[in-house]
Homo-oligomer: A and B are copies of this chain.
Amino acid sequence: MYTFEYPYRIRYADVDQMGFMYYGNYARLYEIGRVEALRDLGVRYKDVEEAGILMPVYENKSRYLQPAKYDDLLTIRVVVREIPRARIVFFYEILNSDKVCIHTGETTLVFLRADNNRITTCPPEILEKLKPWFDQ
């Protein structure tokens, strides 16, 4: 299992007139979390794309437990529970500044070859970096 945490400050641009983060904006936090998790592992998503592999989202699930409010400093916790094969699944917990989990989410991405637009398996450069976290 690989776990990573990254901070996120809620902006005026993020909240709605309830004063809560708009429900559609959590997807942006997920993106930040998983891209920074990959960077922490030594994989830059931009390089993956330039090497010809796109990672479009296939499925996304969100559960809103408590609202996130303007100027809160959240923690995006990202977890990869299984070695990816045809798909990679990222799980998220969003914690507020009191470290209470206020939101959970889950995104499934596939690997797409840009040259022929066909589904492929997880590229070896991602697998190599993830494996040490699953070997024990």
Contacts and interface: CB of A to CB of B under 8 A. Distances in A.
Contacts of A124: none
Contacts of A100: none
Interface string A10-45: 011101111110111111100110010000000011
Nearest to A67: B56
17 contacts: A11-B28, A11-B32, A11-B35, A12-B16, A15-B17, A16-B17, A18-B54, A20-B56, A23-B57, A23-B60, A23-B107, A24-B27, A27-B27, A56-B67, A57-B64, A58-B63, A60-B60
A51 to B, nearest CB: 14
Task: List the number of copies, as a whole number.
Answer: 4
Given A11-B35, A13-B27, 14 more contacts: A11-B28, A12-B17, A12-B35, A13-B28, A15-B17, A16-B17, A18-B56, A23-B27, A23-B56, A46-B70, A57-B64, A58-B64, A59-B62, A60-B62
